[in-house]
């Protein structure tokens, strides 16, 4: 396992012993293939690396986060499905990963049935929230990888989350669907979860071109400070590490994609540290 003390720059992002954050973050965008899972897996791994107790929840029946951390569907007996449908104890579904401070609640194909099964369930939008509430005091970060849809699995994720990080692919149709996502977020905030906020927007799969740069400035105009400075480049190593079932930090820590996710994670941590300290300031008088 890698030691963050090797890198002096990393020490600024390390968890202080008395720091307690407890943040639930949904990585969401109903558009398919924009980098949700790659972001969820790699940010979760870097958070763990910096000392934050992190749990990654795979809310997608495609189970890409589950396989991205090296777990095969046929070895999974308890998954996120049993939590939201059968009210199973979440601790029964948690898998220890080989990575520092990182655990996983996996999904399997069975979860695709939940979208329909949930329709008739009492308080159907809050099944995930209720399932993971007990976990909040044991983890610094709970990261939810959402599926590419705006159905009940995503709505459950948004009802359970405090914050959302939206990955947007640096492509021609970048903004397509984002307006619809923002409308849904607004609706969830009004009816299910007043605390829900867009924490940040991250541009993914960037390769230098005039078009990509103009898309980034368009997104910047739209989201302002919410757009992270870290831009994730198109980097084949990120694709390869997923197929090897490893986060990039373990697969090739010097890859451009690794450095970008490292920087993004530091921005996320700094954002939370700033929030925690301004919250404290608010209570000091
Ligand atoms: P879905 O909507 O299907 O859940 P997603 O939004 O989770 O997709 P990913 O699975 O993260 O998207 O990425 C889609 C594909 O692109 C995957 O094969 C992934 O390995 C690859 N990929 C993601 N980010 C990058 C990147 N920065 N560079 C190269 N390949 C990438
Ligand atoms: Mg995905």
* Cα distance between residue 138 and residue 118, in whole Å: 27
Helix (H) or strand (E) holding 46: helix 36-49
What are 157-183's pLDDT values in tens digits? 999 999 999 999 998 788 888 999 999
Secondary element (H or E) of residue 219: helix 210-223
**Closest residue to atom 8 of ligand 1, CA basis:** 33
Question: What is the position in ligand 1's atom list of the atom closest to the CA of 60?
Answer: 4
* Ligand 1 closest atom vs CA 239: 20
CA–CA separation, 52 and 7 (whole Å): 17
Q: What is the dihedral of CA 177, 268, 42, 213, to 10 degrees?
A: 50
Give residue-wise pLDDT tens across range 60-109.
999 999 999 999 988 898 999 999 999 999 999 999 999 999 999 999 99
Residue range 14-39: mean pLDDT, rounded: 88
Calculate what percentage of the chain has a pLDDT beyond 70. 92
Probe ligand 1: pick from 207, 239, 263, max atoms within 8 Å of CB? 239
**pLDDT higher than 60, residue 36:** yes
Does the pLDDT of residue 4 top 50, yes or no? no
Show Cβ contacts of residue 162 under 8 Å, excluding neighbours closer than 6 positions. 23, 24, 25, 195, 196, 197
Centre of ligand 2 from the C-alpha of residue 238, in Å:
13
pLDDT of residue 16: 79
Least-confidence region, from 16-20, 26-30, 81-85, 131-135: 16-20
* CA 37 to centroid of ligand 1, rounded, Å: 6
- Does 50 have pLDDT greater than 50? yes
Q: Tell me what pLDDT residue 284 has.
A: 39
Q: What's phi and psi for 201, nearest 5 deg?
A: -125, 135
Residues with Cβ within 5 Å of ion ligand 2? 36-37, 64
Atom index in ligand 1 nearest the CA of residue 235 equals: 28
> Largest Cα–Cα distance in the chain?
56
Given pLDDT bands bounded at 50, 70 and 90, which one contains residue 134? confident
CA distance 90 to 110: 17
Ligand 1 pocket, Cβ-based, cut-off 6 angstroms: 32-38, 60, 62, 64, 148, 204-205, 232, 234-236, 238-239, 242, 257
- Tokens linked to 111: 């979860």
Residue 152 pLDDT greater than 90, yes or no:
yes
pTM here? 0.94
Phi first, then psi: what are they for 208, rounded to 5°?
A: -60, 125
What is the distance between the alpha carbons of residues 127 and 130, in angstroms, rounded to a whole number?
5
Segment 119-139 mean pLDDT = 93
Whether the pLDDT of residue 274 is over 80: the answer is yes
CATH architecture of 19-282: 3-Layer(aba) Sandwich (3.40)
Ligand 1, atom 20, lies closest to the CA of 239
Minimal-distance CA residue to ligand 1 atom 9? 35
69-92 residues labelled b (16+ CB within 10 A) or e (exposed): bebeeeebebbbbbbbbeebebee
Residue of 29, 30, 32, 38 to mutate, ligand 1, most atoms within 8 A of C-beta? 38
Cα 113 → chain centroid: 23
Atom of ligand 1 nearest to the CA of 260: 27
Query: What was the pLDDT predicted at 3?
Result: 44
Please tell me the residue having the least CA distance from ligand 1 atom 15: 33
What is the residue extent of each domain of the chain? 19-282
Which of 2-6, 142-146, 208-212, 266-270 is predicted with the least confidence, judged by mean pLDDT? 2-6
210-260 tens-digit pLDDT: 999 999 999 999 999 999 999 999 999 999 999 999 999 999 999 999 999
């Amino acid at each position: 396992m890698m030691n963050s003390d090797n890198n002096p720059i990393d020490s600024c992002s390390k968890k202080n012993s008395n720091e307690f954050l407890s943040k639930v973050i949904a990585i969401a965008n109903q558009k398919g293939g924009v980098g949700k899972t790659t972001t969820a897996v790699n940010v979760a791994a870097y958070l763990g690396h910096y000392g934050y107790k992190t749990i990654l929840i795979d809310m997608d029946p495609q189970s890409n986060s589950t396989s991205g951390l090296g777990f095969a569907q046929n070895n999974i007996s308890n998954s996120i499905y049993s939590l939201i449908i059968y009210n199973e104890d979440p601790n029964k579904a948690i898998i220890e990963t080989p990575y520092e401070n990182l655990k996983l609640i996996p999904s399997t194909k069975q979860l695709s049935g939940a979208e329909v099964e949930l329709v008739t369930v009492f308080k159907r939008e809050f099944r995930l929230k209720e399932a993971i509430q007990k976990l909040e005091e044991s983890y610094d970060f709970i990261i939810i990888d959402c599926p590419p849809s705006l159905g009940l699995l995503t709505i459950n994720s948004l009802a359970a989350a405090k914050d959302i990080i939206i990955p947007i692919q640096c492509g021609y149709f970048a903004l397509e669907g984002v307006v619809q996502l923002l409308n849904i977020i607004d609706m969830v905030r009004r009816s299910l979860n007043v605390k829900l906020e867009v924490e940040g927007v991250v541009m993914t799969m960037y390769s230098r071109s005039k078009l990509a740069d103009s898309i980034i400035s368009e997104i910047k105009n739209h989201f302002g400070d919410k757009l992270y400075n870290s831009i994730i480049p198109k980097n084949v190593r990120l694709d390869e590490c997923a197929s090897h079932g490893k986060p990039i930090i373990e697969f090739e820590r010097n890859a451009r994609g690794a450095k970008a996710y490292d920087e993004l994670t530091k921005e996320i941590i700094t954002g939370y540290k700033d929030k925690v300290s301004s919250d404290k300031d608010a209570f000091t008088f």
